[in-house]
Chain A
Amino acid sequence: MNNLTDFTLTNSSLTDNDFAKASANALQYKSTMTRRQSFKWFGVLSACSVLPTVSGCSTLADIETLIVGHWPDVKLPPITATGYGKDPNLLMPPESPWPLTLTTEQLTLIAVLSDIVCPKEGSVPSASEVNVPDVIDEWVSAPYKMQQEHRLYLLSSLIWIDDESVLRFKQKFVKLTNEEQLVIIKDIAYDNEDTPSEFRFIAQAFNLIRQLVLSAFFSSPEGTKDIGYMGNVAIAGDYPGPTDEAMEHLNNVLGDLGLTL
């Protein structure tokens, strides 16, 4: 069976502060197939419900913060592809609805970040193992307004993270040790009133990265299982309703709240 994700280590003899070439020395994330392709590959077909999400935030972050400290000035060529249109085939969605735009270097950094956000836990695979970087590539390469905004924030964030790595540790992020990487991540992974002003903007941009990673991970078959979604299964006969265990939990909750059915 093919690995969904394929990391290869390329050996070369670059100086540590040769930033321009640093990426060539890094773990490279090689995208071999899209996630949709991979699902077909494994013959996975299941699941659906119209009900809402983890904590109800169905839109990704609006980023509005004054930038303090460094922030890359990124000018991106506009995405000129067209969308999938008003009448796409819903049974066989387009394999690749628009050209993907991320470079291997960008995908590699995203893979490392994805696995920090969403690491392997026991038998549950990490984000990159379920091709989260490819989903993010499709997302930010999409010709729709929201996704194009996300593209700017994501790509700027990637540059910021590498710049910050170089400033602190003289190497790009993927070349850092895990401990060094976490020193930076800890500074940007919590967006709250204690976040130093120079990290406020990247912390909000990191919200976007986290949301994309978690969305892509939990909607994968492995992630769906991990979060415990059990629907999208045809039921013969009447809908069985809550399990005894679920009802017992509810009854305890009702008791605590002083409520009765």
Chain B
Amino acid sequence: MKNFNYEVIVIGSGAGGGMAAHTLTKLGHKVLMLEAGRDYDPKTETPMFKTKAQAPLLGAGTVDKDFGFYDATVDGGWSVPEEPYTTGNGSEFKWWRARMLGGRTNHWGRYSLRFSEHDFKGKTRDGLGADWPFEYKDIAPWYDEVEALVGICGTNTGLDDMPDSPEGVLQPAPKARVPELLVSAAAKKLGIPTAPMHRAVLTRPLGDRQACFYATPCGHGCSIGAAFQTTTSLIPIANKTGNLKIITDAMVKSVDVNEQGKITAVSYINKKTGEETQLSAKVVILAASACESARLLLNSKSEYFPNGLANTSGQVGRNLMDSTGVDVGAHIPVLENRPRYNEDGHTANHLFIPWWGHKQQAKGELDFPRGYHFEISSGFGEPGAGVAGDLTGYGSYLKAQARKYYGSRVSFALRGEMLPNKDCYMEIDDKVTDKWGIPVAKFHWKWSKHELKQVEHGLKTGRKILETMGAKFTDPLPKAEDVILKGGQIIHEVGSTRMGDSPNDSVTNQYGQTWDCNNLFVMDAGVFASNPHKNCTLTIMTLAMRNSTWLSSQLKKGEI
């Protein structure tokens, strides 16, 4: 990097790092990006139109490829070879990592719902968790910009859980499919709304990215750029400015400070050679993912920061949250033998069920404080391993049963807001290091009654909707604690370096600038003060754009 006079080092190339690099390079700043994984190009590497039968094991998931053979995740998943993590006694936590340019944006679900004013000020309303250090109206114009840049399809609904976008920002939503329409009709009878999902999938071309052609699951990546990932959008655009340089296979080990407590350098290990390099740094942005950034801070101990960098508050690694998750589904007899058509669509929800209970909660009618939404799984999917279900018999009778049941199952995936609690946090395991000699993260986890009550409500409501569609349940309602998914399993981990109004109980200010070091920023989901049920990526990108723009103004004013 001798001939590249960078101003800012960005660690990570996913939603936060990609947007930070895009924003800063566009504003004229030279940025050096470090990515722990390999280089990755969706244009040449995405398995478009491949069938499950063309993959080993009919594409089924394995420990090598947890979400199936074609999932875009490279060198990661629930485990990364020789880069373990540990859990405390009695804790279960799963940590999804990707070691590739673009990080987890290459495979994410692309659900992109704005947080609302409810979401930013939960504590003001119910006294729980923490408020964000700004209001919805402060961030709304940034959502507008990000939605236009990323390309979000969806519809303004006017619902209190879904703030509208300005006219012309959202791209048209795709038409709903039969099972979704049936869910919608059943939900309507119960007074529950359905709405077009907002998704980072183009239904109209944008720049050199093409519109969706409604084939190939987005989780495989998208060679035509319709499904948003930083590797076909933000990073190539930033590259074109000439202001971006990227070093891949660079595992950052520490962020180094001088005697004034100012960041001076970043040390990383070249994963190909094992060689350690120290890069001088004027400004550092952490965007390595909530838990990887917190790990890096906790591992960057010094005389000035004996408890870890930027951790004077003691909050680094604390307030760790995921979304709640549970599945409730059923066979729907009236959907048996229904007429076939191409039901792929954009390969995920066209309709979903947004949270409808704000008013009930305000009146104290619900026994849990925060909301959830339902994602709808259904349809004539591509047959693969497991297609046989629980059929019996053999021969033509069996095959007729398989055809009859095909496309007749509907299930709901609940995704809900969790509150921070003292039992959910991460720290450094002082006994275990990864293959690079870096101490690993250790997770502690326990759901509180708020999440369990919420999941119980979701299980009951999900069944009610399915019963309205004609489903019959013979087994008793499961207990929430038995069926709630594990911490980390929804891959919405946030909060480990939360932002706030005060250096006493938060790690950064509202711009992601750490209270302890004015030239150190966090721009991943670590800064979330709460974890609304609406999937974190759109807000990660929105904060990264807003906060990089603020950082640019500070640099230009000479404040940093």
Contact = CB atoms under 8 A, between A and B. Distances in A.
A218 B215 contact: no
Interface stretch (B9-17, B170-178, B509-517): B170-178
B62 interface: yes
Interface string B217-236: 11110000000000000000
A73 B175 CA distance: 56
Interface string A46-74: 11111111111111100000000000000
Of all A-B residue pairs in the complex, the 10 with the closest CB atoms, nearest first, are A51-B381, A241-B175, A55-B389, A231-B344, A214-B388, A50-B217, A228-B340, A259-B185, A218-B383, A211-B388
A36 B403 contact: no
Given A47-B49, A48-B344, A257-B470, A88 B64 contact: yes
Interface in A3-59: 35-36, 39, 44-59
A48 B76 CA distance: 23
Contacts of B81: 86
8 contacts: A54-B388, A55-B389, A118-B398, A242-B181, A242-B343, A253-B182, A257-B185, A260-B185
Interface of B: 38, 45-47, 49-58, 62-65, 69-70, 74-77, 80-81, 172, 174-178, 181-182, 184-186, 188-189, 203, 212-220, 329, 331, 334-335, 338-348, 377-396, 398-399, 402-403, 405-406, 408-409, 411, 468-470
Contact of B47 (A91, A226, A242): A91
A255 to B, nearest CB: 10
Contacts of B335: 253
A188 B469 CA distance: 34
A133 interface: no
B386 A211 contact: yes
Size category of the A interface is: 35 or more
Contacts of A144: 57, 62-64
Chain B: interface secondary structure? loop
A58 B51 contact: no
B53 A253 contact: no
A258 B467 CA distance: 13
Contact of A93 (B55, B175, B387, B405): B55
Nearest to B346: A239
A238 B203 contact: yes
B71 to A, nearest CB: 9
A232 interface: yes
A199 B344 CA distance: 41
Contact of B391 (A214, A219, A245, A257): A214
B384 A219 contact: yes
Given A215-B388, A216-B58, A54 B399 contact: no
Given A47-B51, A48-B216, A53-B389, A87 B74 contact: yes
Nearest to A127: B399
Contacts of B395: 116-119
B69 A90 contact: yes
A155 to B, nearest CB: 18
